[in-house]
Amino acid sequence: MINPYKSQPITAFWRPAVAERHYADLKDLWLPPELKKSHKVATAGSCFAQHIGNNLAIRGANFMDMEPAPSMFESETEARRWGFGVFSCRYGNIYTTRQLIQLFDEAFGKRTPTEQVWEKDGRFYDALRPSVDPVGQESVETVLALREKHLAKVREMFETLDLFVFTLGLTEGWESVRDNTMYPMAPGTLAGSYDPAKYRFRNLRHAEILSDLTEMRTRLRDINPTAQTLLTVSPVPLTATATDAHVLPATIYSKSVLRGVAGEMADDYQDVTYFPSYEIISSHPSNGMFFNPDKRTVNQFGVNYVMKHFFSGALAKEFNSASISEKQNSLDLICDEETLEDALD
């Protein structure tokens, strides 16, 4: 009898590919896209996306930094607190696909959020990226002017990139009742104030996220026909959930939906690739060894192991990691979501 599994490679079988190997010796977990040092790479997404951008940059990739930090900052760490050098543009964390596609549409003049500015203690903040300005501005007009400059850089980034790396982080978000604008954080956390008549919680479903990403890919390819997309799912659990569920099953639900959508996108489109950072860190054969004692944040050992797999195959030759030290790999992540724990105080 013909057995269709006879033609499958060793990596298709659990026992030789996982059970009989030390976890540090896993290999061939993905097929990297063709990427050269000359290719322009842009990143966006949740906190974990910062590791990929950082490692691409220090390995000599053409990492796009569209809004570099001004010379006024004394250190890179200080500049990062203000949103500089965190991602390819100064948009802060983009946790949901709804944020991403709305940002794209706004950058290309297809939508204008009805509420763009939040106030806190007499200072004004960009509601679509409140974390990038820790002290706020003196006027609404200044915030809007700065946003226009930011959107111009976002537009240029999408028009000229070769590879867009997006890390899916959350399904949960807060949106405007008036025009469905989704914010990176709930109003009242970093700035603004919560009013249930103005804002509502939204836990995006599989079909909505798939639609967002499918439309995002179409719109990106319309203005940049050769653009490639690389999707990952953040392995970092939710800091808090706004659902009625316990945060543990809420996390598993969110990550499972995001992983399913990312896989479908990679299966359906040749220009979309999926990298399994979520599986590498969170799957049970790792025995949780890649998490810090809080069982949420990923330790440096885990980050280095993910990057080892990311820079494999053809990428290992193109982006030589021989000179990369652990100190160079270390990075203090900028994570808006962690401020949700302030509610415990």
User: Which of 226, 222, 252, 256 lies closest to 237, judged by CA?
Assistant: 252
CA 74 to chain centre: 27
Average pLDDT of the segment spanning 104-113 = 97
How many structural domains are present in the chain? 1
Q: Phi/psi at 338 (nearest 5 deg)?
A: -65, -20
Contacts of 303 (CB under 8 A, 6+ apart): 51, 329, 331
74, pLDDT greater than 70: yes
Check residue 339 and give left, alpha or beta (phi > 0: left; psi -120 to 50: alpha).
alpha
Measured CA to CA, the distance from residue 68 to residue 55 in angstroms comes to 17
Mean pLDDT score across all residues of the chain: 92
pLDDT of residue 52: 85
> pLDDT band at residue 332, thresholds of 50, 70 and 90?
low
Q: What pLDDT shows up at residue 316?
A: 86
pLDDT value, residue 53: 84
Poorest-confidence range of 43-47, 253-257, 259-263?
A: 43-47
Residues near 34 by Cβ (< 8 Å), separated by ≥ 6?
A: 314
Contact 230, 119 (CB under 8 A): no
Q: Average pLDDT, stretch 94-109?
A: 97
Tokens 């053809």: give the residue.
314
Per the domain annotation, does 25 fall within a domain?
no
**pLDDT of 70 above 50:** yes
Instruction: Work out the pLDDT band at 340, boundaries 50, 70, 90.
Output: low
**Cα–Cα dist 109/152, whole Å:** 10
Residue reference for tokens 């860190």: 281
Residue 23 is assigned to a structural domain of this protein: no
pLDDT band per the 50, 70, 90 thresholds, residue 72: confident
Query: What's the average model confidence in pLDDT over 38-44?
Result: 95
What pLDDT was estimated at residue 48?
82
10 belongs to a structural domain = no
- pLDDT, tens digit (0-9, with 9 covering 90-100), for 205-217: 999 999 999 999 9
Determine the Cα–Cα distance for residues 254 and 104; give it in Å rounded to an integer: 23
- 43-63: average pLDDT: 87
pTM of the model: 0.93
Contact 26, 18 (CB under 8 A): yes
- Whether 90 shows a pLDDT value over 60: the answer reads yes
Kindly state the average pLDDT of the residues 124-138: 95
- Tell me whether residue 8 is in a domain: no
Residue 245, φ and ψ in degrees, nearest 5: -85, 160
- pLDDT greater than 50 at residue 130: yes
What is residue 292's three-state secondary structure?
coil
327 pLDDT higher than 50: no
State the CATH number of the domain containing residue 327. Answer: 3.40.50
Contact 173, 57 (CB under 8 A): no
Predicted local distance difference test score (pLDDT) of residue 331: 62
Task: Assess if residue 12 is contained within a domain.
Answer: no
pLDDT at 335: 64
Asked if residue 329 has pLDDT above 60, the reply is no
Domain of 129, in residue numbers:
38-336
Separation CA 199–CA 118 (nearest Å):
13
Asked if residue 28 is part of any domain, the answer here is: no
Instruction: Classify residue 24: in a domain, yes or no.
Output: no
For residues 119-139, average pLDDT: 95
For the residues 131-153, what does the mean pLDDT come to?
96
Strand partners, 173: 202
Residue 4 in any domain: the answer is no
